[in-house]
Amino acid sequence: MIDEFCIFESGGTVLWRRSFVALKGDPLAILVRSVLLEDRLSLPELSFDCYTLRWVLDNERGLFFVVIFQRLLPPAYADDLLHMVRKEFTKRYIRPADNPSAKGNTPFVVDCDPDFDQFAPHFERILASAEKKSMTAGATSRNAEGKKRKPVKPPAPDITSPDPNREAEQDPETLDTGLSTLSAEDVVKKNREAFIRKHVSRKSKAAMGAMKMKPKPSAIDSATTPTRSVGGKVMRPSNKATQDAGPTLDYSTGKPQEDGAIADDEVARFRDQFMNAAPNSAYDIIEDSDDDEFDEEDGDGVNESSAPLGGVLNYFKGLAGMRNLTKADLQPVMENFKDVLIAKNVAQNIAEKLIESVLNSLEGKKMESMTSVTTTVRSALDEALTRILTSRQSTDIVAEIAAKQGTGRPYVITYCGVNGVGKSTSLAKTCYYLLNHGYKVMIAACDTFRAGAVEQLRTHVRCLGEGVELFDRGYGKDAAAVANDAIRKAKELGYDVVLVDTAGRMQDNEPLMRALAKLVEVNRPDRVLFVGEALVGNDAVDQLSKFNQALADHQNAAAPRLIDGIVLTKFDTIDDKVGAAVSMVYATGQPIVFVGVGQTYMDLRKINTRSLVKALLK
């Protein structure tokens, strides 16, 4: 049984819907946000809470047909119902446009002022037909399976029957040639005795085997006993700690070096590297919008020769002037575009899903005259990538901090990621960025595992100067407790922001992922930023997805805190291979907050979507 059926236009207007039960939440809104706006049309269905949504697109007419049903009770006729309703609805209410060219790519229009309420009886008839067809098909398949089944073997003959075949099949240990001449009670008695003898003999054999397996003391064993060394060899020094060495090896109560213990030359080296060096101005284009340079077509139906294409895109100039787009026309062009995306470091599975989604959105649409398939596909892919990379939430951390002031609690940002991606350096760059906006920052040293992690942060604090303070409890402490103490201390001292540094961990390390989930659940940071390298492709999706899943699995809260922002490091080393950004955003739907483009504190940028799309498609 279905819960709801809905028909709406690509513009969002709901034309008709039929609800059988009251829905929990708004599954249609989730469909629009999670599938349509993110170009995930390649998905066969969407699961939300206790519901599953399945749909059919009519690209030629710009219509969406959606059926909603219980996830645990999927109806077998859902696909048939979608196609049957689509056929009936378009036949009754959709007519060709009077002037198709004026309607762009939609040469059909909905009848003016139609009475969609009269579609209800037609829908009920179609629903009943689909249910009946499904039941008939199920009965037919069950009958076919029943005919294919092997005949059931007849029951075994009675033990007292003189069947020579049965006697041949019996266990040799329980076979008795005189059973046929005995009474039923004697037969049962003899079988019981044979059964007992059989099991007793098995236990005896097992006990004997265990005794044989027990090793006997050998000459070698006796030679290695300590009693042999009386008056002989002296014990060699071992790696085991002695009681006298206890004070020397006891680091449990020790704390990292104090501020003054850090060598001045180390601080000077950090200052030369992170503050006095020139920032990487070659990547200022990331922040600059160059939409005018990106537009390759101007006007309606421009010949493709006016839009120079480079590289592999020159292969696609063959087909022009086509009217209807079919899957056969789109498939070869899509395959080449998929290769382009993979070459730009987009994860392969993400590239395949993105290409399939664009193909589904184009199939059946009309093309403008004198426009090639390549141009149409490129335009659709550009729109899809722009929608994916455009954040649907604010990434202005400065504005969020300003809004948080006056609440009595500092703004908390937690950094997480795998080992060696630059979490501490990205944290220091963010601290410099916030100090320049006039905020007081406290850094919580919650990497209590890696040797030298606290000293590294202390050196950064000395380089950054006034307005920033380091809070640490040394090594071997509970990271969640350290973060909690740091937030409480920052609140008492009037700090605006707390930046929480965490230990690097692999995404499959369950104990460390539990510790990270505990830190996030206990302290409820305002932002959980995942730090990843821009160099990776498929690994980025695996890391980010597993971090997010671990945070969801290891928190007890009804609404667990997940990753809600991404920081990409080493962005200056990848040229135009920016596909990792698409992979990470597509995997979680979360925006890229910052990218690191160099070694200095100033080399932290906000990303520009149009520049990324241009780099992906050029």
| pLDDT higher than 80, residue 298 | no
Interval 359-398: pLDDT, tens: 888 888 877 666 788 888 999 999 999 988 888 888 899 9
| pLDDT higher than 70, residue 239 | no
Interval 567-617: pLDDT, tens: 999 888 887 788 888 888 988 888 999 999 888 899 998 888 888 888 888
Q: What are phi and psi of 138, to 5 degrees?
A: -65, -40
| pLDDT higher than 50, residue 317 | no
Interval 336-355: pLDDT, tens: 999 999 988 888 888 998 99
Between residues 93 and 86, the one the model is more confident about: 86
Chain center to CA of 63 = 30
pLDDT attached to residue 412? 97
- The span from the CA of 77 to the CA of 607, in Å, is 46
pLDDT attached to residue 409? 93
How confident is the prediction for the chain on average, in pLDDT? 76
Residue 320's pLDDT band, with cuts at 50, 70 and 90, is: very low
Residue 307's pLDDT band, with cuts at 50, 70 and 90, is: very low
DSSP 324: B
pLDDT attached to residue 176? 43
Mean pLDDT across 428-453: 93
In the chain, helix, strand, coil percent, each to 5?
50, 15, 35
Between residues 48 and 511, the one the model is more confident about: 511
Between residues 156 and 430, the one the model is more confident about: 430
Mean pLDDT across 206-234: 47
> Is 397-608 in CATH node 3.40.50.300?
yes
**What does the block give as tokens for 394?**
């604010």
Mean pLDDT across 267-277: 61
pLDDT attached to residue 280? 56
| pLDDT higher than 90, residue 118 | no
Chain center to CA of 67 = 26
Q: Residue 165 belongs to what H/E stretch?
A: helix 164-169
Between residues 202 and 513, the one the model is more confident about: 513
CA distance to 7, 12, 91, 306, 363, per residue, from 96 (Å): 19, 21, 11, 33, 18
Q: Residue 335 belongs to what H/E stretch?
A: helix 327-343
What residues have CB less than 8 Å from 26, skipping those under 6 apart?
none
pLDDT attached to residue 573? 82
pLDDT attached to residue 480? 94
pLDDT attached to residue 28? 87
pLDDT attached to residue 232? 47
| pLDDT higher than 70, residue 73 | yes
- The span from the CA of 605 to the CA of 34, in Å, is 27
Mean pLDDT across 448-468: 90
| pLDDT higher than 50, residue 252 | no
If one looks up domain 2-138 in CATH, what number appears?
A: 3.30.450.60
Q: Model pTM?
A: 0.60
pLDDT attached to residue 290? 42
What is the fold of 291-389? Four Helix Bundle (Hemerythrin (Met), subunit A) (1.20.120)
| pLDDT higher than 80, residue 104 | no
Interval 278-292: pLDDT, tens: 555 555 444 444 443
Residue 91's pLDDT band, with cuts at 50, 70 and 90, is: confident
pLDDT attached to residue 416? 94
Residue 96's pLDDT band, with cuts at 50, 70 and 90, is: low
- The span from the CA of 455 to the CA of 259, in Å, is 9
pLDDT attached to residue 225? 44
pLDDT attached to residue 594? 92
pLDDT attached to residue 157? 45
Amino acid identity, residue 263? A
pLDDT attached to residue 144? 61
Residue 195's pLDDT band, with cuts at 50, 70 and 90, is: low
Residue 319 near residue 367 (C-beta atoms within 8 A): no
- The span from the CA of 469 to the CA of 461, in Å, is 7
Residue in 221, 171, 180 with CA at minimum distance from that of residue 199: 171
Q: What are phi and psi of 70, to 5 degrees?
A: -65, 135
Domain residue spans in the chain? 2-138, 291-389, 397-608
Interval 391-433: pLDDT, tens: 888 889 999 999 998 888 999 999 999 988 889 999 999 999 9
Mean pLDDT across 190-212: 59
To the nearest whole percent, how much of the chain has pLDDT over 70?
66
Mean pLDDT across 107-120: 66
